[in-house]
Chains A and B, each alone.
Chain A
Amino acid sequence: MLTLKCPFTGAMLDETELHCGGEAHRKRFGPGSSDEDFETYMFVRENRKGVHFELWLHAYGIGKWFIAARDTETLEVYGTYPAQTTEPPQDIKDAITAKRPGWSWREFE
């Protein structure tokens, strides 16, 4: 069972009180964008064995979204941070690098 630390309350949240919102750090392409960009935004998803970034909502609690950096292979959680963040914070990147040197995920590495 996944247990994530809420970056807003500091509480350890059980998977059963959360709702997963899918891939994090999606960049929106709206009106006027190219078909390729919109297709990427709408349909193309990472499906990684290893480092992954996901959106999670504390649905049975404070009702705020946050991002979890975790490993889909080892189930290790590298860290969580507010969903208003556009790029993974450096300490979380460092934590991932310590376990998975040379990792990359979309434009982050």
Chain B
Amino acid sequence: MSEPISALNHASYDGIAKVEECGLQGMITLRGDLSDKVLAKAVKDATGQKVPGQREALVKGDTGVCWMSPDELLVLVQYAEVNAKLADIAGALSGTHALAANVSDARAVFRVSGPNAREVLGKLAPVDLSPDAFQPGQIRRSRLAQVAGAFWMDDAETFRVVCFRSAADYVFKLLKVAAQPGSEVGFY
């Protein structure tokens, strides 16, 4: 049995914000009718969270659920549990029109933390990241320079960023450049 390893194996960088690759994170893409009670129960059983509303991210640590589109959720679970949780979800949804797939190894997850975390993300994504417009509990899917990515805030100074694993090195370098010492803009 080979040992699973994340895209950049906990690489980190300290600048105006701390950028870390979070390591292995269990991720399940769940598509279906989000108003469906069976789906809501499957999400509750897997994560302890309700089905998030539009653009909501209900995440505690490495467990939670994010709203990805009107018919798609991203279920976050511990990496070691992902197969068991996936089987539970798939079993619960066997009678409904829905799809659950393990995408843990297809993605990379970063954490950007520090008082300037907003600045770092604000340089890379065409999104209004002012505290009035973007708060913990919200998720936004957008682009990070030239690749697709999603991010949410764990608290007022911490972002979690998800991108495709194939773009992990690119995104880490982007975040490093955006977090260079002395590159504070002071906009937010």
Chain A residues close to B by CB (< 8 Å): 8-14, 16-17, 58-64
Contact = CB atoms under 8 A, between A and B. Distances in A.
B57 to A, nearest CB: 13
Interface of B: 54-55, 68-70, 72, 126-128, 140-143, 147-148
B134 to A, nearest CB: 10
Given A10-B55, A14-B126, A62 B143 contact: no
B126 A62 contact: no
Given A61-B148, A62-B72, A11 B140 contact: yes
A60 B142 contact: yes
Nearest to A14: B126
B126 A9 contact: no
B141 A62 contact: yes
Nearest to A60: B143
A58 B140 CA distance: 12
Given A60-B142, A61-B141, A64-B69, A9 B148 contact: no
Given A17-B126, A62-B68, A62-B69, A9 B55 contact: yes
A16 B126 contact: yes
Nearest to B67: A9
A55 B140 CA distance: 21
29 contacts: A8-B69, A8-B70, A9-B55, A9-B70, A9-B141, A10-B55, A11-B55, A11-B127, A11-B140, A12-B128, A13-B142, A14-B126, A14-B127, A14-B142, A16-B143, A17-B143, A58-B141, A59-B148, A60-B141, A60-B143, A60-B147, A60-B148, A61-B141, A61-B143, A62-B68, A62-B69, A62-B70, A62-B141, A63-B69
Interface centre among B127, B141, B147 (most CB of A within 10 A): B141
Contacts of A13: 142
Contact of A9 (B54, B128, B143, B147): B54
Contacts of A12: 128
Contacts of A64: 69-70
A61 B72 CA distance: 12
A29 B127 CA distance: 39
Contacts of A63: 69
B152 to A, nearest CB: 13
Instruction: List 9 A-B pairs, minimum CB-CB distance, nearest first.
Output: A14-B126, A60-B143, A62-B69, A61-B141, A60-B148, A17-B143, A8-B70, A17-B142, A16-B126
